Structure 1
Amino acid sequence: MSFTSTALTGILTSESVHAVELPMATWAYGLVALIIFALLAFVTASYRDVANRHRAKAEAYAARHGGDEHGGH
């Protein structure tokens, strides 16, 4: 056997693989992800319909700029 095959055999054996215990249960990772996504969904939903909260400002802007929202020439 060559040195390379001997070294690879030593690396790939199950004796050199060490199991690492997770800091929490596997289902808890899913729960944490679900909570994070729920919080992000709540933040996103909180911006819904923000433009209509300031109707007076929007109407004043439209009157000042002739209703052209995109600044076209």
Structure 2
Amino acid sequence: MTFATLVAFAAEGAEEHGSVALETVGYGIVAIVAFAALALVTASYRNVANRHAHKAEAYARAHADDAPEAGHGH
């Protein structure tokens, strides 16, 4: 193929017009699904500290004497 033939084919392909909005809808759908999945992961960590409150209370009782009297370890 010559350069002129390639230019002719490129010009012929450039004349076809499509809807750019419809071509990019897939990206929006993928983004929505990805953010929804991340939101579910984030929501799964909600209230985790209260699920293990008995462990935190037991640790606090066991280490009550280890707490420093003043700030910054003084």
**What is the TM-score normalised by the length of structure 2?**
0.56
* Cα-to-partner distance string for 1:17-65 (whole Å, 9 max, x where unaligned): 887xxxx931110110011011001101100110100111011011111
- Distance in 1 between the 2:59 and 2:31 partners? 42
- Distance in 2 between the 1:25 and 1:57 partners? 53
One-letter identity of the residue aligned with 1:46:
S
Report the RMSD for the aligned CA atoms in angstroms.
2.8
**What is the TM-score normalised by the length of structure 1?**
0.56
Decide which structure has greater helix share.
Answer: 2
Partner of 1:50: 48
Partner of 1:65: 63
Number of residue pairs the alignment of both structures matches? 51
- Distance in 2 between the 1:25 and 1:47 partners? 36
- Distance in 2 between the 1:45 and 1:58 partners? 22
For structure 2, the 5+ residue unaligned runs are: 1-6, 15-21
